[in-house]
Amino acid sequence: MSVHDSSLTSTRQNGEVSMSSGPETEQVPVFRTSDLAVYYGEFRAVRDVNVDINGQEITAFIGPSGCGKSTVLRCFDRMNDLIVGARVEGKVEYHGIDLYDKDVDAVEVRRRVGMVFQKPNPFPKSIYDNLAFGPRLNGVKKKGELDDIVESSLKRAALWDEVKDRLKASAMGLSGGQQQRLCIARCIAVEPDVILMDEPCSALDPIATARIEDLMQEIKRDFTIIIVTHNMQQAARVSDRTAFFTTEVNPESDRRTGVLVEFDATEKIFSNPSDERTEAYVTGRFG
Amino acid sequence: MSLTTPDRFGARSASDVTVRLTSSKRDVKGRAVEWTLLSTLLISLLILVALIVNLIDRAWPILSGRLGDFLSSGIDASSAADAGVWQAIRGTLILSVIVAIVAFPLGIACAVYLEEYAGKSKVAGLIRINVRNLAGVPSIVYGILGLTIFVKFAGGLTGGRTVISGGLALSVLVLPVVIITASEALRAVPRSIREGALGVGATQWETVRSHVLPSAAPGILTGTVLALSRAAGEAAPILLVGAVTGLLRTGNQSLWTQITEGGFTSMPVAIFSYARQTGADFQAVTGAASLILLILVILINGLAIWLRNRFERSW
């Protein structure tokens, strides 16, 4: 997978980027952060994040509120750019390319790295137009081609059977769970490389949640998925690797900063974590 | 169930509890507030009704006698029997069209810039505050501005004291109102819509054009059309710019010549002209003209509501 070219930047970095370059070099991760810290104005929201995100895996970010997991997630598609005063220090590399290099176009990044938000946010348009918006941006104009993309995306998001007879109806008329699957389908429609999910099930009931979790397992063959969740069982159920974040009180300013505590295989995090803070959190003795 | 007597609330028996629960010991203060608020509403409505009744009563000789003639005669402040409003209605409509063409796109563009592009810089904040201040500037000041800029300075382009200068002065007058209402409508578009569009790789302009503006359109339209009805009711600025008050002869000029070169008048100006004349017959003329302006403004507001409802359903 990963059709990767140099269109992210105007200047090509080190000739080419490939998933399996030399015989002795290890596989380049999809994302690698080095000493990542994010500031909102003077406030340091999260610091010292070093993670490697592998392709075709589901990585979960867990931790208490305010630990910076969503903030880190939003660095991967440059969504933090939209927040006035947000500033990123350290490095976020996407297939080896520094995402915060001044030559990198955030719009191009977001075409490759899609996002599903906490609250389902379908556009107040028809189901069809929700799906077709992204492909149209990419220059798909022919109706037949768009129809195909809409159908296949809805099928992959397990929504086709429920909406195939009312594609022209407003997306706002769908239930919460259907809306969220629509948002996932909208994301899939532009064939991204990575899908970021920011607490995608927190507004949904358990049945809708289960459907989305099944869906994630289905699509992880094609996409790298990073999910932020408050729900530890969800992380344990769906993810391959889990990062646990927590907050630390900053001695100088008395404000809380998020830190990455541990990042490992999900099984290890939940059965035999190395850090006692992780153990306290996953066993429910957090405090 | 037995009660300890008296219970914690002071009831002595079961029947006493019943009495206490059902007897109307109402919220007296709350009632008083409710009635006060209702009476203020009624007073306001009463004043409005009185105004309309008074207008109809005054205008009755015209409405019952020569309504068709009144609607088709030109402005003439020397003879109540010949006085009419058709030039004024036409003037007001042309002024409205100019305001719609000039102030709407300009104001909406300003609002889009301020809300979507300007960010939170100090300069942008200063501009926002001053747009609000401009909305509070008295209309006569905009008249002076119109006279100086559109009639004298740019007279070559506008033709001097023409309906174009008047329309431009009114456009400047309502521009801050258009900017403010459009800004508010844009601000009301949820952030999640913008994030959704940007999240699939839309540029900022694609996001604004495809999602933010359509979502804000009903609000923008309502606000701007209401600004239009304000412009239609303004007399002071166009009086200064040179609207004709006494008698307007148009002869056989084409509509285009009248617009670019000729004198113009408008409904509020016509009312002003007629109100200055003495005598019961001119009172009737003034009343009838006021009533027609009122109907015109109500029609414009109705258009605003119709447009809003239509656009809200369109997706």
Domain extents in chain A:
28-121+194-282
Give me the numbers of helices (H) and strands (E) for chain B, helices first please.
15, 0
- Tokens read off for B226: 């209401």
In this prediction, the answer to ipTM > 0.85 reads: no
Report the pLDDT averaged over residues B254-263. Answer: 73
Report CB contact under 8 Å: B200, A84: no
Nearest residue in chain B measured CA to CA from A74: B199
Contact A228, A199 (CB under 8 A): yes
CA distance A73 to A85: 17
- Tokens read off for B205: 């302009």
Across the interface, which of B192, B210, B214 has its CB nearest the CB of A121?
B192
User: What is the percentage of chain B residues whose pLDDT exceeds 70?
Assistant: 94
Report the pLDDT averaged over residues A140-168. Answer: 91
What is the DSSP secondary structure assignment for residue B207, as one 8-state letter? H
Q: Please give the pLDDT value at position B5.
A: 66
Beta strand A52-53 with A31-40 is: antiparallel
What is the DSSP secondary structure assignment for residue A170, as one 8-state letter? B
Q: Kind and range of the H or E element at A245?
A: strand A241-249
Q: Please give the pLDDT value at position B196.
A: 92
Q: Kind and range of the H or E element at A224?
A: strand A224-228
Read off the pLDDT of residues B277-287 as tens digits, 9 standing for 90 and up: 888 888 888 99
Shortest Cα–Cα distance, B80 to chain A (Å): 56
Report CB contact under 8 Å: B201, A126: no
* Residues of B in Cβ contact (< 8 Å) with A112: 201
Q: What band does B3 get if pLDDT is binned at 50, 70 and 90?
A: low
Shortest Cα–Cα distance, B197 to chain A (Å): 8
* Chain A interface disruption, residue of B115, B116, B200, B210, most A CBs within 10 A: B200
Chain B contact present for A78, CB below 8 A: no
* Residues of B in Cβ contact (< 8 Å) with A84: 119-120
**Which residues does B contribute to its contact with A (CB < 8 Å)?**
119-120, 190, 192-203, 206, 210-211, 214-215, 315
Report CB contact under 8 Å: B195, A82: yes
Q: Please give the pLDDT value at position B257.
A: 72
Number of other CB atoms surrounding residue B127 within 10 Å: 16
SS3 B314: coil
Beta strand A113-116 with A194-198 is: parallel
Q: What band does B253 get if pLDDT is binned at 50, 70 and 90?
A: low
- Tokens read off for B201: 């790789």
- CA-CA distances (angstroms) from residue A58 to A55, A246, B193, B283, B289? 8, 20, 26, 81, 73
Q: Give the CB-side neighbour count of residue B88, counting CA atoms within 13 A.
A: 35
Lowest mean pLDDT among A146-150, A190-194, B86-90, B93-97: B86-90
Report CB contact under 8 Å: A117, B197: no
Across the interface, which of A107, A123, A186 has its CB nearest the CB of B211?
A123
Across the interface, which of A108, A119, A190 has its CB nearest the CB of B200?
A190
User: Which of A118-142 are b and which e, b meaning 16 or more Cβ less than 10 Å from the residue's Cβ?
Assistant: bbbbbbbbbbbbbbbbbbbbeebee
Asked if residue B41 has pLDDT above 90, the reply is: yes
Q: Kind and range of the H or E element at B181?
A: helix B163-187
Nearest residue in chain B measured CA to CA from A192: B200
Report the pLDDT averaged over residues B44-51. Answer: 95
Interface of A with B in 211-270 (CB under 8 A): none
Nearest residue in chain A measured CA to CA from B315: A125
* Residues of A in Cβ contact (< 8 Å) with B201: 107-108, 110-112, 134, 137-138, 190
CA A156 to chain centre: 18
CA distance A8 to A243: 27
Q: Kind and range of the H or E element at A261?
A: strand A256-265
Report CB contact under 8 Å: A187, B199: yes
Greatest Cα pair distance in chain A: 61
Q: Please give the pLDDT value at position B179.
A: 94
Tokens 């109705």 sit on residue: B302
- Domain formed by B67-313, architecture: Orthogonal Bundle (1.10)
* Residues of A in Cβ contact (< 8 Å) with B215: 124
Asked if residue A244 has pLDDT above 80, the reply is: yes
Report CB contact under 8 Å: A77, B199: yes
CA distance A264 to A261: 10
Asked if residue A94 has pLDDT above 90, the reply is: yes
Q: Please give the pLDDT value at position A9.
A: 55
Report the pLDDT averaged over residues A46-60. Answer: 91
Chain B contact present for A29, CB below 8 A: no
Across the interface, which of A111, A117, A170 has its CB nearest the CB of B201?
A111
Report the pLDDT averaged over residues B185-189. Answer: 92
Q: To the nearest whole number, what is the mean pLDDT of chain A? A: 86
CATH of domain A28-121+194-282: 3.40.50.300
Shortest Cα–Cα distance, B195 to chain A (Å): 8
